[in-house]
Amino acid sequence: MEELSPQLSELWTITLEVWNTGVFGYSIGDALVALGIFLAFYLLRGFFARFVFSFLDRWVKNTSTKFDDYLHSALIEPLRFGFVIVGVFFALDFLNMQGTAAVIADNVIRSLIAFAIFWALHNAINPLSMLLRELGRMLTNEMLNWLITGAKWGIIAIGAATILQIWGIQVAPIIAGLGLFGVAVALGAQDLFKNLIGGLSILIEKRFRAGDWIMVDGVVEGTVEHVGFRSTRVRRFDQAPVFVPNQKLSDAAVTNFSDMTYRRIFWKIGVEYRTTLDQLKEIRDGIETYLRENDNFVQPPAAAMFVRIDAFGASSIDIMLYTFTYTTVWGEWLEQKEELAFKVKEIVEGAGTGFAFPSQSLYVEKWPEGTPEPFVPPSEGTPNAEGSKAVN
């Protein structure tokens, strides 16, 4: 035992040295105390969130505006992160670091504070955008969404630059290098910038917005779902999504059916040539009376309305029907157009005539030499060539 005493004493000495300088030259005991301080503030974070934030929740729900509700929801996580910052600060302060370690600890605290500030600003963009909705008369929802997205990325960029500056990294040379790199990238990404500019022109000109029914000849027809930086997502009527580059939508002719004031019905109704003058007038007057007495159709002078004998076609007398419905909803418009079709058929048949269909008559003046004459069988009761009646 006496021979082991020096070795045990040496082991104890080594243990004390490790205990006192085992964590980057600092005492393990101090490190455990610092960890305890951090955990205490972390637990306090949960206590604060449970009681104080619950009180704030009840308070904002009792207010008449929804802005404070959204702002509270956006800032709650950055505020809770503040307790993490306080815990780290007091834990590092307890360690009483010196030299380089003190500089690193100071930079960590500053970086966490900057992160929390820009995190809160980033989250506050969405509730603050509610105030910008008042500009809806000048800016569309799509333009506001672009502004909000740009603001968020701007805050992220500024926050990253701030943290880099805290650690002594100069941002200006990085930006200059990115500028040279950007020129090289721009040469190979011209389509991307064309689509970006095309998207801006779409929003500025207010060609369409989310929810509009549009048609681009040879490209797509459907409902706009989202106008992005590079492309616009259009949902076809078969529910298939189509991603159209913004450049195509800005350069092409776009028909926006959702912006229609009224919806047009334009027909050519062909009736038979045997139709008399009185029948034509009866059909025309009957259709016009129906249109003027039906509340579904726009009356002059708000919109044009014509029912006129228009042309003598190849196989019909054409009546032009030109009118507009108040509804622009496709399903309702089809229903009203169907009712009009039923009424037109009723009027035409009630006048004692019918609809014409393409037909062609062939007249032969003389059969070629040597061509047999067509045989027409005699009908029942017609005398035959010998003067007798045909027998079945």
Give the chain as a 3 state SS string: CCCHHHHHHHHHHHHHHHHHHCECCECHHHHHHHHHHHHHHHHHHHHHHHHHHHHHHHHHHCCCCCHHHHHHHHHHHHHHHHHHHHHHHHHHHHHCCCCHHHHHHHHHHHHHHHHHHHHHHHHHHHHHHHHHHHHHHCCCHHHHHHHHHHHHHHHHHHHHHHHHHHCCCCHHHHHHHHHHHHHHHHHHCHHHHHHHHHHHHHHHHCCCCCCCEEEECCCEEEEEEEECCCEEEEEECCCCEEEEEHHHHHHCCEEEHHHCCCEEEEEEEEECCCCCHHHHHHHHHHHHHHHHHCCCECCCCCCCCEEEEEEECCCCEEEEEEEEECCCCHHHHHHHHHHHHHHHHHHHHHCCCCECCCCCCCCCCCCCCCCCCCCCCCCCCCECCCCCECCC
Query: Would 78 be classed as within a structural domain?
Result: yes
Q: Are residues 20 and 88 in the same domain?
A: yes
pLDDT (mean) for 351-362: 83
Instruction: For residue 193, tell me if it sits in a domain.
Output: no
- Give the C-alpha separation, 296 to 327, whole Å: 8
Same domain, 244 and 274: no
| 117 lies in the same domain as 56 | yes
Asked whether residue 278 is assigned to any structural domain, the reply reads: yes
Same domain, yes or no: 139 and 229? no
Q: Are residues 97 and 143 in the same domain?
A: yes
Please tell me the predicted confidence (pLDDT) of residue 380: 63
pLDDT greater at residue 42 or residue 351: 351
Query: Which pLDDT does position 230 carry in this prediction?
Result: 81
Residue 181 pLDDT > 60: no
**For the segment 95-139, what is each residue's pLDDT rounded down to a tens digit?**
777 777 788 888 888 888 888 888 888 888 877 777 666 555 556
Residues 161 and 236 in one domain: no
Q: Which domain holds residue 56?
A: 16-185
Assess contact for 94 and 30: CB atoms under 8 A: yes
pLDDT in tens, 278-302: 999 999 999 999 999 999 999 999 9
Give how far Cα 152 sits from Cα of 110, 197, 305, 356, Å.
Answer: 21, 20, 52, 66
User: Is the whole-model pTM more than 0.85?
Assistant: no
Q: Is residue 9 part of a domain?
A: no
